[in-house]
Structure 1
């Protein structure tokens, strides 16, 4: 049913527990799990990169790749199924879904507290624009 599953992780608090859930879901469906972390640079870094300072983002990406490798090792997810990108989270999650031909996206959604919003803006965009099923997990 869900052959290729993408879990978008922020590598923040509870990321390991969320990834464990995603791995369990992939195992239950006999699917292949891909992990994606997107680094969304602040506007000031985007400006600096536009001026020719692209190397400013490299240390941040290198750190994220290291964390992703440790996570992948813990969950036995091969490096070929671990992805770290820099850019718009919404755009890159949707791009990776299409690129991999995913049948399911698993994404966390922060609890908004007293605000009436149901999903965070990233989860909302993925739910409404993904060409496949989307499972949101409460962070």
Structure 2
């Protein structure tokens, strides 16, 4: 029996996400734990602070469509059903915490870039997920292309 019953895998869908996918496959290959995928999109209006006087809905919808396609590819690779693939819009750590509670998740797996200096001071998604989670968090070290 697995130590975990339900694992939420948080991905940013960057090229580095493949490292997280491979690590999850390796670590939980023999596990019977249910797996769910999550990708959180920050609203474009957050980026521009509402200062752009145009409707960005079409762009936001296209970004979401592309994210759903990519998440479906990852889901197929990991054998995760479409019903267990989630796209949320908002602040990544907050949305992952909310989804983890809704799904009764007992482990959240996220990538960590190992930031230093000012980037560490301002925080990271994995750090925010860790400090607000009501379950275990597995931070998977993501290597930059020049580190491999």
Band the TM-score falls in, shorter-chain normalisation = 0.7 to 0.9
Q: Is 2:17–2:111's contact at 8 Å kept on the other side of the alignment?
A: no
3-state SS, counterpart of residue 94 of structure 1:
helix
- Superposed displacement of residue 104, structure 1: 0.5
Give the paired residue count: 139
Which residue of the partner structure matches residue 85 of structure 2? 82
* RMSD over equivalenced CA pairs, Å: 2.7
TM-score (norm 1): 0.84
Provide Cα deviations, 1:84-127, integer angstroms capped at 9, x if missing partner: 11111111011011011111111111121456939942111211
Q: Which runs of no fewer than 5 residues in structure 1 stay unpaired? A: none
Q: In the aligned structure 2, how far is the partner of 1:116 from the partner of 1:64?
A: 25
Question: Taking structure 1 as reference, are residues 112 and 20 closer, same or farther at Cα in structure 2, changes over 3 Å only?
Answer: same
TM-score (norm 2): 0.80
Question: Taking structure 1 as reference, are residues 80 and 23 closer, same or farther at Cα in structure 2, changes over 3 Å only?
Answer: farther
- Superposed displacement of residue 15, structure 1: 1.1
Q: Is 1:5–1:34's contact at 8 Å kept on the other side of the alignment?
A: yes
Q: Which runs of no fewer than 5 residues in structure 2 stay unpaired? A: 143-148
1:1-139 map, 5 Å: 1-42=3-44, 43-44=46-47, 47=50, 54-113=57-116, 117=120, 120-139=123-142
